[in-house]
Amino acid sequence: MEIKVSNINKLDWTGDALALGFLADNVQLSDELHQLDQKLDGTISELISEAEFTGKSGTTATARIGGQKSLRKIILVGLGKPEELTINSFRQGGGSIARAAKQAKIKTLAIALNNNDYDNNLLAQVISEGIILALHEDKRFKSDEDDKNILETVELLELPADQKAIETAEKIASGVILARELVNAPANVINPLTMAETVQNLASEYALELTILEQQDCEKLGMGAFLGVAKASDLPPQFIHLVYKPQGKAKRKLAIIGKGLTFDSGGLNLKISGSGIETMKMDMGGAAATFGAAKAIAQLKPNVEIHFISAVTENMISGKAMCPGDILTASNGKTIEVNNTDAEGRLTLADALVYADKLGVDAMVDLATLTGACIVALGNDIAGLWTKDHQLATELQTAAQTAGEKFWQMPMESKYFEQMKSPIADMKNTGSRAGGSITAALFLEQFVKDTPWVHLDIAGPVWAEKPNAIDNEGGTGFAVRTLVNWALNN
Ligand code: BES
Ligand code: MG
Ligand code: ZN
């Protein structure tokens, strides 16, 4: 499928389908659309009234044009209420149009979506992202993998943008898709070794520096927290460190650290039935977003140096498993009484944060499917954000806004750390159920010295139970777009 900008007017365009965008509660035909409507024997006005099309966000209506016209179908898409319009409305609009076009078996499509309040290049980019992401379906594990999508070309009309904006969208989408595919792949496909292989392929394709620390290397660095989690796995842990360096002098050095549990059984505090254990292949969603962002960033080449890090393992059970009550020593020397083996993500992140902190970066972000408590607090569509650094919070929120991804800043309530006081070690790894996502963040803070740091709990939004405008059921690739924007803008 090819997306391109075109300077043909919608009145003159010929092809299978033309898509038009409308704001909610104001579905009126402009002079130009009125002219087009007349040319199409009233198809547009008839469709609006017959489908009771109101321009509500996410809705579409499609009609066939009678007679032997050089245009076969018309697709209307709702962009929602004007006061709720954001740049993401256009990403969603692109996605909704692509879905409608696929349903209508369209080969050649034109989209007339523009808006004077937004930059044309950004509009072209987000509409393209929406199209590509909505059409991506993960069919790798189906034996009959016929893709019903026959869309060949999409032309963006009346949007004087640079073709480069569409290439940017393609690069970002390739990163989001990698993250989705990593999350969707079950634990018998993506394990610590195949995860490392995937990153090796990325490194050689885009000429990135890669270091993989094996178990012995991690032992030498004293990564007792990470290795404690890895003990019961039959597969060796892989500590992955991928680096993107720009050609000239980097204006900033950043680190992105993702939780990489290719499966979380809970360990000896085994996840009980009904706890969603069968979905725990998604517990590397942070690592997936990290390496998805790396894929996009390696193509977009911003002028910043970025370290992509994940301590990858599985949380399993066996005679070698760490026991509840075990005391682990992390690589900064702090000791942890493991009062719950299912709070394993923070143990792996502890050593990853200590490692990243030593790189001398200007800022670091960790992303993790860390707590069920964060889902209870914010639901499935919003991730939690913790930091004491106001500027970093603003940078990420700005990046997220354009990305159409939602983060809600949560409190670093120091007092709650008391819940993790241990009589025998420096700390326990869990506090009480109440405020569980906050104590998790406070635990991580123990492993950050003085690098400005943000923690993102993405347990909810990494996975979609049902499709929305741009995501299909399954892995969403959440946070890739935010991370890419962050790298590009700062
Ligand atoms: N991977 C889970 C968190 C999770 C839950 C992610 C649901 C996605 C969906 C994490 O390792 C975990 O098990 N957390 C425990 C912490 C508890 C033992 C303090 C939890 O959230 O129940
Ligand atoms: Mg767990
Ligand atoms: Zn986990």
Q: Write out pLDDT tens, residues 450-476.
A: 899 999 999 999 999 999 999 999 999
CATH 3.40.50.1000 matches 2-159: no
The predicted pLDDT at position 67 comes to: 82
Determine the distance separating the centroid of ligand 1 and the alpha carbon of 343, expressed in angstroms: 6
Which ligand places an atom closest to the C-alpha of 370?
1
Pocket test for ligand 1, best of 371, 378, 420 (most atoms within 8 A of CB): 371
pLDDT over threshold 90, residue 432: yes
pLDDT over threshold 90, residue 207: yes
Q: Using CA positions, which residue lies closest to atom 7 of ligand 1?
A: 372
The predicted pLDDT at position 366 comes to: 99
- Residue 350 banded pLDDT, cuts 50, 70, 90: very high
pLDDT tens digits, one per residue of 383-410: 999 999 999 999 999 999 999 999 999 9
Ligand 1 lining (C-beta closer than 6 Å): 264, 276, 283, 340, 342-345, 369-373, 430, 436, 459
Q: Is 72 a catalytic residue?
A: no
pLDDT tens digits, one per residue of 299-320: 999 999 999 999 999 999 999 9
The predicted pLDDT at position 149 comes to: 78
**What does the alpha-carbon distance between residue 254 and residue 392 come to, in Å, rounded to a whole number?**
11
Determine the distance separating the centroid of ligand 2 and the alpha carbon of 369, expressed in angstroms: 9
Mean pLDDT over 241-253 rounds to 97
Q: Would the CA dihedral through 464, 470, 475, 476 be positive or negative?
A: negative
pLDDT over threshold 80, residue 148: no
Phi and psi torsions of 447, nearest 5°: -115, 10
Mean pLDDT over 245-251 rounds to 96
Determine the distance separating the centroid of ligand 3 and the alpha carbon of 314, expressed in angstroms: 9
Determine the distance separating the centroid of ligand 2 and the alpha carbon of 465, expressed in angstroms: 20
The predicted pLDDT at position 394 comes to: 98
Determine the distance separating the centroid of ligand 3 and the alpha carbon of 443, expressed in angstroms: 15
Q: Using CA positions, which residue lies closest to atom 13 of ligand 1?
A: 342
Q: What atom of ligand 1 comes closest to residue 340's alpha carbon?
A: 18
Residue ranges of domains in the chain: 2-159, 170-488
Mean pLDDT over 314-327 rounds to 98
Q: Is 139 a catalytic residue?
A: no
At 252, the amino acid letter reads R
The predicted pLDDT at position 145 comes to: 72
- CB neighbour class for 382 (10 Å; exposed up to 12, middle 13-18, buried from 19): middle
- Pairing type for strands 238-244 and 209-213 reads antiparallel
The predicted pLDDT at position 58 comes to: 94
Q: Using CA positions, which residue lies closest to atom 17 of ligand 1?
A: 343
pLDDT over threshold 80, residue 71: yes
CATH 3.90.870.10 matches 170-488: no
Q: Using CA positions, which residue lies closest to atom 14 of ligand 1?
A: 371
Mean pLDDT of the chain: 97
Beta carbons of 58 and 68 less than 8 angstroms apart: no
Catalytic residue among 346, 406, 428, 481: 346
The predicted pLDDT at position 26 comes to: 77
Q: What is the pTM of this model?
A: 0.98
Q: What atom of ligand 1 comes closest to residue 261's alpha carbon?
A: 1
The predicted pLDDT at position 370 comes to: 98
